[in-house]
């Protein structure tokens, strides 16, 4: 059973930083791209960033470009989302999702980690 487990969420003040992790197990992590998607309380889903299976390319939504950085360490089966200059509107559950490479969809998801930006 493929598994993604997010961690690193918490409460941070506006302007602060946080680094989220997405740990993979029970599949060949280095064969899969990774997305980060968030969901503000009571709201819909928003795609944030994607990194290719080998880490060669990253893509970002305009809403986070320049503030968030996606990365991965295939030797540790882990992906990351570095979030800087956080704003109150970044408060959300952050999910990582795996992508097998040909469907254009988010194939499987982690359970998410909550980030609260508040003073």
Partner 1 sequence: DIVMTQSPDSLAVSLGERATINCKSSQSLLYRSDNKNYLAWYQQKPGQPPKLLIYWASTRQSGVPDRFTGSGSGTDFTLTISRLQAEDVAVYYCQQYHNSPPMYTLGQGTKLEIK
Q: Which residues bind partner 1 (CB under 8 A)?
A: 35, 44-47, 50, 59, 61-62, 95, 103-112
How near is the Cβ of 118 to partner 1 at its closest, in Å?
A: 22
Q: Which among 37, 76, 26 is positioned nearest to 55, based on CA atoms?
A: 76
What single DSSP character describes residue 57?
A: -
Q: How far apart are CA 48 and CA 28, in angstroms?
A: 23
How near is the Cβ of 42 to partner 1 at its closest, in Å?
A: 11
Which residue lies nearer to partner 1 by CB, 6 or 90? 6
How near is the Cβ of 90 to partner 1 at its closest, in Å?
A: 17
Q: Which tokens hold the place of 13?
A: 């003040």
């Amino acid at each position: 059973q493929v598994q993604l487990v997010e961690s690193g969420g918490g409460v941070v003040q506006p302007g602060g930083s946080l680094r989220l992790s997405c740990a993979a197990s029970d599949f060949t992590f280095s064969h899969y791209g990774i997305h980060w998607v968030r969901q503000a309380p009571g709201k819909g889903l928003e795609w944030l960033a994607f990194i290719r299976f080998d880490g060669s390319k990253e893509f970002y939504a305009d809403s986070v470009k320049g503030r968030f950085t996606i990365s991965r360490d295939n030797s540790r089966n882990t992906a990351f989302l570095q979030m800087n200059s956080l704003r109150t509107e970044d408060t959300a559950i952050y999910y990582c999702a795996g992508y097998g490479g040909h469907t254009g969809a988010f194939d499987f998801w982690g359970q998410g980690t909550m980030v609260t930006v508040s003073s």
